[in-house]
Amino acid sequence: MGWRTYLVMYFGSNGKAVSEIVKEVESLGFEAALGPADFLYDWKNKAPTKQDVFALADKLTKVLKGSGVIFNIETHD
């Protein structure tokens, strides 16, 4: 299956529209998912380093800034 980063988001009512947030998150390479995580990022055949995961989290932070979203990521194989 390979390495994946799972993203769970908690939406607030004082931010961007959910549909707008979804487009922005998908533009980073995340795919919408059903189940315990809202999105997943597939690292393909690469085992990410801590720096890779932190860089992805930085991109998420930038995209979600001002959106009212709180998020959690979890990365494993």
Range of the structural domain that residue 37 is part of: 4-76
In the structure, what pLDDT confidence band is assigned to residue 58 with cuts at 50, 70 and 90? very high
Q: Indicate the number of domains in the chain.
A: 1
51: domain CATH number is: 3.30.70
What are residue 9's DSSP bridge partners?
A: 71
pLDDT at res. 15: 84
Run of H or E including 31: strand 31-32
pLDDT at res. 35: 94
Evaluate if residue 1 carries a pLDDT over 80: no
CA 2/CA 46 separation, integer angstroms: 8
pTM beyond 0.75: the answer is: yes
